[in-house]
Amino acid sequence: MANIWSMIADPNMQWIFLGCTLLGLSSGVIGSFSYLRKQSLMGDTLAHAALPGICIAFMLTGIKSIGLFLIGAGLAGLIATFGIGYITRHTKLKQDAAMGIVLSSFFGLGIVLLTVIQHGNYGNQAGLDKFLFGQAASMIGSDVITMSIVCIVLLSICTLLFKQFKLISFDPGFARGLGYPVAALEQLMMLLMVVAVVAGIQAVGVVLVAALLITPAVSARYWTNKLSLMVILSGIFGAASGAVGTLFSASVSNLPTGPVTVLAATLMFGISILFGPQRGIVAKRLMRQRAKRRFAVQREISIHDNTKKEAAL
Amino acid sequence: MSDFWIILTGSLVASCCAILGVFLVLRKMAMIGDAISHSVMPGIVIAFLLSGSRDSVLMMFAALAFGLLTTFLIQMFQQSGIQSDASIGVVFTALFAVGVVLVSLFARQVHLDQDAILYGEIAYVHWNIWELGGVNMGPRAVWLLGFTLMVIVAVISLFYKQFKLCAFDPALAAAIGIPVAIFHYLLMGLVSMATVSSFESVGAILVVGLLIIPASTAYLLTERLGMMIGLSIGVGIASTVLGYLAAKMLDASIAGCIVCAAGVLFALALLFSPSQGIVAKKLRLRKLAA
């Protein structure tokens, strides 16, 4: 425990901690929109697709900077979304198969490039494989600052366009009828998702960053039926998992950040699914028991009434 | 000789995955295949920690258990009102995270690192030899994969009719008394088995590429199920051979190259499939317009 406190006192660690918490917050917020739009697994596809983008950015420039990686991964993510759209529109394959195809071929390409980088004579390549599972502790000051700025921009866009995003999440047809630029808004939301995923890669890793989009949103859905509250709750869940993940992985050696963050989010999901009001398992059980008791009481009354009637006859 | 063994191993992996992939693609469950290939991880690691060896029956059973657990959890969350893709996402990330944490915590005690799980070690397949009474029987992986392939072929051909009906019209299948749920779990069990036996050679993550891509390619080329399975296997094996050659040339990850080759073959089918390709469609439109 003392270990954790001394770590919090370390200013470098404070930065990383802040960055990861912000990251969880913004992924949680964006994740709730993508959950409502039934695009949860899109985050997973985007994350896997980002790997070749990162590798190409590194091969071209030879430096590890999160800003360049953001650009590379963002471009790769956009190509991936375009590919998925193209396959679903032009063939009889469904979206899930299209996502699987794009996800695995991009990831395969990423791994090929990664091994080419490792075998080739690119200097300074150590730690590129940290992107697979994430290692928050390996971030340097400028990375954290870039990540934090990106997260703040994401959050402000979501706050400003909350009304529009709400409408296209629930009823895109109505939004189109009102004259909103639905296609542009949908593209913007996809772009925000790409940015959230890419910003999270260094902290959580390519393989698991999608969980930051999905799990907090699903957990938040268990507590409320109001979108505004759901977005806030999802952000809080995400932020908490980011914080826990960073602390734990830094205190145990050789433990990547990604899985710990995901497990923290899953724990909150477990609590939500058990104790959520109305939808939680416990609440449902209680409701069923109450209904059963009410039914039993009513039956007793009616039996009682019947015997009275019979007696009167 | 090593080339031969590597290509043989790859082809066996590709065949196992290609057969099952056809049913996954037809039942619109491609992403469940992805989920299973991630979530058998903790099973593999736990079995490895318990038995200390990499090729045990225990590993097969542990992974099978986790594969079925994944299917069950996804089903349960879906029924409790979570969207299907979100429930897939929650389950597989959680289980995969457990697996990675276990590997990281016990990394020093076990000879099983994250790289092996991600990329596989198909290049070293011919070093891990199975000896029976002092006689060299060839690589272990080949035997394991051969066994898996036999089980898959046996089960699928035994229940071909049932699987076919469940794939195309589950409601009708249920109506005429086929236990659809049992066949669903049977298929998922086979997918988990294929994933475990392949993970050692191509890595847990790239298995999904071989599950989905060849089957989708075949789906674009034919409209008959039997033909689709055959084509899917063909595409899988062709990607293995092409991928291996490319990997030798580039000095890169073999598993990654195999999946890339599969992706290229898919792109070719997408463009030039005689019945549904983009080019064929364009030509037909032009002929109509003329």
Computed over its alpha carbons, how large is the radius of gyration of chain B? 20
A43 has a chain B CB within 8 A of its CB = yes
* pLDDT over threshold 90, residue A238: yes
Q: Is B86 on the interface with A (CB under 8 A)?
A: yes
Helix ranges restricted to H, A91-171: 95-119, 130-133, 141-160, 162-170
Mutation site for B-interface testing, chosen from A37, A41, A117, A257 by largest number of B Cβ within 10 Å: A41
Smallest Cα–Cα separation from B34: which of B99, B84, B89? B89
Question: Which residues are CB-neighbours of B266 under 8 A, at least 6 positions away?
Answer: A101, A105, B213, B216, B217, B220
Tell me the C-alpha distance between A42 and A39, whole Å: 5
Q: Residues A270-275: what's their mean pLDDT?
A: 91
A223 touches chain B (CB under 8 A): no
State which H helix or E strand residue A136 sits in.
Answer: none
Nearest-CA distance from A211 to chain B in Å? 6
Interface predicted TM-score of the whole assembly (ipTM), two decimals: 0.88
For the cut 90, the answer to whether the pLDDT of residue A249 exceeds it is no
Going residue by residue through chain B, which has 290 residues, state the pLDDT in tens, using 9 for 90 and above: 678 888 888 899 999 999 999 999 998 888 888 888 888 888 888 888 887 766 667 877 888 899 899 989 998 888 888 888 889 999 999 998 898 888 878 765 555 555 666 666 666 666 666 666 666 667 777 888 888 899 999 999 999 999 999 888 889 999 998 898 899 889 988 998 888 888 777 776 678 889 999 999 999 999 899 999 999 999 999 999 999 999 888 888 888 899 999 999 999 999 988 888 888 888 888 999 87
Cβ contact A108–B263 (<8 Å): yes
Size (chain A), residues: 313
d(CA A220, CA A233): 6
Tell me whether B262 touches chain A (CB under 8 Å). Answer: yes
Question: Are A196 and A210 in contact, with CB atoms under 8 Å apart?
Answer: no
What CA–CA distance (Å, rounded) separates A284 from A278?
Answer: 6
Per-residue pLDDT band at A7 (split at 50, 70, 90): low
Task: Tell me the average pLDDT across A281-305.
Answer: 89
Q: Do B89 and A256 touch (CB under 8 A)?
A: no
Confidence of residue A16 (pLDDT cuts 50, 70, 90): confident
Of A44, A93, A255, the CB nearest to B216: A93
Residue closest to B92 by CA, chosen among B25, B41, B28: B41
pLDDT at A124: 58
Q: Nearest residue on chain B to A249, judged by CA atoms? A: B101
Q: Please indicate if any CB of chain A lies within 8 Å of the CB of B104.
A: yes
pLDDT at B130: 66
Q: Do B118 and A97 touch (CB under 8 A)?
A: no
User: Please, are residues A169 and A192 in contact by the beta-carbon 8 Å criterion?
Assistant: no
Confidence of residue A140 (pLDDT cuts 50, 70, 90): confident
**Predicted pLDDT of residue B60:** 79
Q: How confident is the model at residue A105 (pLDDT cuts 50, 70, 90)?
A: very high
CATH superfamily of A2-279: ABC transporter involved in vitamin B12 uptake, BtuC (1.10.3470.10)
* pTM of the complete model: 0.85
pLDDT band at A217 (very low <50, low <70, confident <90, very high): very high
Query: Which residues in chain B touch residue A279, judged by CB atoms under 8 angstroms apart?
Result: 80-81
Identify the pLDDT of residue B1.
66
pLDDT of A2 above 60: no
pLDDT value, residue B160: 92
The answer to whether B101 contacts A260, with C-beta atoms less than 8 Å apart, is: yes
Dihedral in degrees, nearest 10, Cα atoms B157, B160, B161, B163: 160
Q: How far is B107 from chain A (nearest CA, A)?
A: 9
Q: Is A44 on the interface with B (CB under 8 A)?
A: yes
Tokens coding B237: 């094996």
Residue B278 to residue A90, Cβ atoms within 8 A: yes
Q: For chain B, which domains are there?
A: 2-281 (1.10.3470.10)
Q: Cβ separation of A111 and B80 shorter than 8 Å? A: no
Interface contact B86-A114, CB threshold 8 A? no
Given CB atoms, is B3 within the 8 Å cutoff of chain A?
no
Question: Quick check: A103 and B34 in contact, CB under 8 A?
Answer: yes
B134/B141 Cα distance (integer angstroms): 18
Q: Chain B residue with minimal CA distance to A90? A: B278
% of chain A with per-residue pLDDT over 70: 92
How close, in Å, is residue A181 to chain B by CA atoms?
27
Residue A253 has pLDDT above 80, yes or no: no
Nearest partner of B209 among B284, B260, B279, judged by Cα: B260
- Mean predicted confidence (pLDDT) in A288-304: 89
* Rounded to 5°, angle at Cα B273 from B271 and A107: 55
* Cα distance between residue A257 and residue A57, in whole Å: 23
Give the distance from residue B260's alpha carbon to the nearest chain A alpha carbon, in angstroms: 5
What does the mean pLDDT of chain A come to? Answer: 85
> Is residue A218 predicted with pLDDT exceeding 80?
yes
Give B115 to chain A, closest Cα distance, Å: 9
Query: Is the Cβ pair B97, A266 closer than 8 Å?
Result: yes
What pLDDT sits at residue B267?
94
Q: Is B275's Cβ below 8 Å from some Cβ in A?
A: no
